Structure 1
Amino acid sequence: MNTFQGSCHCGACRFEVDTDLDHVRSCNCSVCRRRGALIHRVPKSALRMLTPLVNLTVYEWNSRTAKDYFCPNCGIMPFRIPSAPTAEEIAQGKLPFEGWAINACCLEGVDLSKVPIRLVNGAGLS
């Protein structure tokens, strides 16, 4: 387990996360495709906010179950709460994820070219 320091571009949002960065996710949904973030999921207890969440801006869309946290100064999304599974996903046995999705591009000292990428077909979800 490693502890990573993270921040938005301007440094107004800072955090620490404990994880083994064994992969990242690249989603093709309309939001993620435009954003270009590489996501790594961690349990709630793994993320420590060094900047209060109330200092960030939240974006919600569609089902309003996902919450993307952005720096109001530079616009970077350092982390998010993933969306709840759709009815179709629940019917297929998918369980809700109780944790954070970290934008690995915001982690200091990480060479993302050495981290495997898992593709997520978010565009195919209803």
Structure 2
Amino acid sequence: MFEATCHCGAVKIQASAEPAWLNECNCSVCRRLGTLWTYYHPSEVTFLEGAGKTVAYLWGDRGLEFHHCPTCGCTTHWEPVRKEGAERMAVNARLMDPAKIAGIRVRHFDGAESFRYLD
């Protein structure tokens, strides 16, 4: 199991598997947030603390909700606005134990212009 915890501990997320890879995106939101995303099917993610208590931010086409802890402000995850049939959500791997994610491949995604992986 992989756990991601915000700074204050109010939000704790557990994922059922090691991330296949990590994603660093340079879009206008992700570069400002400093996130490192790992992707899961929503059924693979459990909120141990803070379920339903995070604050969502929507922008652009308003298809994704970027969530953060209301207490310490750490960006915790994103999920699609449309939950029904959702195949993917992301957890901020920067909230995981660095020793647990060391050595996992980091892919660089050009979300600013080409919407392609640069590797």
| Structure 1 unaligned residues grouped into runs of 5+ | 85-95
| Structure 2 unaligned residues grouped into runs of 5+ | none
Equivalent in 74, 85, 106 of residue 95 of structure 2: 106
Please give the residue correspondences for 1:1-126 in structure 2 after superposition, counting only pairs within 5 Å. Answer: 3-81=1-79, 98-108=87-97, 110-124=99-113
- The one-letter code matched in structure 2 to 1:70 is H
TM-score by length of 2: 0.82
RMSD of the alignment, in Å? 2.3
1:46 Cα deviation (Å)? 0.7
Whole-angstrom distance in 1 between the partners of 2:41 and 2:15: 10
Structure with the larger strand share: 2
Quote the sequence identity (%).
Answer: 29
Is the CA contact (8 Å cut-off) linking 2:4 and 2:91 kept in structure 1?
A: no
List structure 1 runs of 4+ shifted beyond 2 angstroms: 51-54, 108-113
TM-score by length of 1: 0.78
Structure with the larger helix share: 1
Is the CA contact (8 Å cut-off) linking 1:81 and 1:100 kept in structure 2?
A: yes
Residues 64 and 53 (structure 1 numbering): CA distance in 2 closer, same or farther, change over 3 Å?
A: farther
Residues 29 and 17 (structure 1 numbering): CA distance in 2 closer, same or farther, change over 3 Å?
A: same
1:124 Cα deviation (Å)? 1.4
Aligned residues: 113
Is the CA contact (8 Å cut-off) linking 1:82 and 1:101 kept in structure 2?
A: no
- SS of the residue corresponding to residue 67 of structure 2 reads strand
- The one-letter code matched in structure 1 to 2:26 is N
